[in-house]
Structure 1
Amino acid sequence: MRNYRNLMVSAVLTTAVFACSWPLAHAEQLRVPVGSQADRSQISLPANGTKSDAVRARWGAPVTIKGPVGQPPISQWHYQDFVVYFEGNRVVHSVVKPQKD
C-alpha cells in the first residue's frame, strides 16, 4: 500500500511540474467593426481548393505576392480588392479588403 501511495504522489508531483513548465499559448484577438467589414457577396472570390494556376487564369497576376513562409508553405496573393491565401498551390482562404471611404 505504501509503494502504491508513493507511486501516486510521485505521479501527481511529476504531472504538476510538467504542467507548470508547459509554455502558455497566446494569441491576439482581431476585432473588425461591422461597418468596416467588406461584403463578400459583392465580389467574385477564388473557392477553397482552387489551384494557383486557375486563380491566375481567372483573376490575372496579383499586385503583390508575399511568401511562401512556414511549413506547410503559406503564401498570400494580394489583388486590388481581395487577398488569396495559398497552402502550397491550393487556395485555403480568400478575404475581401475593407472599402476605404
Structure 2
Amino acid sequence: MKALKGLAISVSLAVTMAFGVANADEVRVPVSEQGQNAGIEVPKSGVTQASVEQKFGAPQSIQGPVGDPPITKWIYSGFTVYFEYDRVIHTVIHHQ
C-alpha cells in the first residue's frame, strides 16, 4: 500500500514538473456590480423611504437609525436597503 502511495506521488510530481503547475484565472467583480444579473429588482440610490415602502412593501425588520448622519437599515427577504436620513444610499442582495 505504501508503495502505491509513493508511486502515485512520484507520478504526480513528474506530471507537474513536465507540464508546469496548473493555474486558474481569478475573476474579480466589484461589490457595486455583484448581483446585477441575479434578476432581483432592488431600490435605486436616492429613492425615498416612502417610495421604497410603496414599491416593495413593509420591510421584515428595521434597524437604526444609528450614527451621524443617521443610517437606517431595512431588511427584506432578498436584500437589505441602507438609508441616510430618508434616502437610499446602498442596497445589498443577500446570498442565496
Offset of residue 60 of structure 1: 0.1
- Distance in 1 between residues matched to 2:84 and 2:69, nearest whole Å: 7
Matched residue, 2:35:
39
Asked if 1:56 corresponds to 2:35, the answer is no
One-letter amino acid of the counterpart of residue 54, structure 1:
S
Q: Number of residues paired by the alignment?
A: 64
For structure 1, the 5+ residue unaligned runs are 1-33
Question: 1:9 maps to what in 2?
Answer: none
Q: Is the 8 A contact 1:40 1:96 kept in 2?
A: no
Identity %: 44
The one-letter code matched in structure 2 to 1:40 is: Q
How large is the RMSD of aligned CA atoms in angstroms? 1.6
* Uncovered stretches (5+) of structure 2, i.e. residues with no partner: 1-28
Match of 2:86 in 1: 89
Partners of 1:87 and 1:96 in 2: CA distance: 18
Give the aligned partner of residue 64 of structure 2.
67
State TM-score, norm by structure 2: 0.63
Query: Could you tell me how far 1:48 is from its partner in structure 2?
Result: 0.2
Q: 3-state DSSP class of the match of 1:77?
A: strand
With normalisation by structure 1, the TM-score equals 0.60
